[in-house]
Chains A and B, each alone.
Chain A
């Protein structure tokens, strides 16, 4: 846990390329094994929060042909479509969560955000 919190402006663009129907594995050091594998959590933006979901193996980077699947891009869209307070809550919640809490039974290739408590914390 680190002290990186606060207001931020971000622009993340140009996501391109093509994945296949298989999601990649959880990259993060803390993705498996519990608290002994501590992760720095510099999460301030919607993009950061969705990267954390990818790193934890909770969602896929790119769902490829599976357009309806909840991947990194849809994650960012969903957070950014929320109002300011909801965005803050979702991002803060994802930042403070351990990787295991962020996963759903079908993670990462077919994750269901409605089973993620952090998205509910932002309301509807």
Chain B
């Protein structure tokens, strides 16, 4: 009961601020879409489950549609446009003349769009026949938005491929890039050591990227997704290493002589890196060329300062974490010269793990405000106004949020299920999905 009250109060609090911040991010007015389950012929039938779940998830994850509730769908779903029931008396001027479309556009489905199709085997390959109809149109001919074939290998990876492509085409009609090609880099201990791993944005295709067999953590990807910087324990202690994501080999980065070099993060042009280094005896913020040359110190304090992140739009603002006000570490912003320093968080609790959204307007971060030390929750702040909302609560420790390329999703690490795992959610806190389950997984970054 007490919990419920707390929850209600918390919800009420969020509700006040939500429209301000979250409305700008995830949008409010949405078209409704229905996605009919596809069937398959022959060997393709085995792959239809993967096809259907992948399409549905890609479309739902894009967060630009209202998903028409599946339980309301008509019993007879089309596989092809010609499955349309022939009207008794066809009248192109009468919108009611084609009940096939109206089955979907009228209550209870109330959809604006319908995606449907089927799969088949052709020369050993998997083929997806996909259509998107605007069911508000008066007839089948006018309704068709997409009608296209997609080819892939006859296996689950092939099923996911054709489904991702169909979903991406649908989203493109609405000016949205699909997340389907995007990758999440993260840290996993499942090889026995912490190493960098990668996976598709939906948790598929999990692969080990590094093999240093020490402690390898804190990944960061260049804006063009060609380079991966991270921190690994070398004989000189924790240092920054860089890999090419094209050749998967190590490329040069010259670390300053320091006990700790960490938190490498690229400038928007990919030509420089900001990072934290203890050259001076205190972890301070530095900027250097992407290979570590031309080192310049940005901050000058005698406290620990970490996690600098350059605004991806302006290339001029840096948010970072510092203990400079004498309380537990807080979030600050400054310009890239180290001037115009401003504290962003209130001074309560410990604030950490800042991440800019791609538009450079909002920062997601982890904060213990209102909780005991260590009980982090994910927050999003409008940097211009300082207004913030709390996205997680009452579900374990939540940290390291980073934004998806679409600026609407956040991937983060949470131990809400017992062990630390990677989760994604829409930036309003809904659409939670667990992406990993093997070993301990943490520190995700979402790259294009």
The judgment on whether A and B are partners is no
Report B's interface with A, CB cutoff 8 A. Answer: none
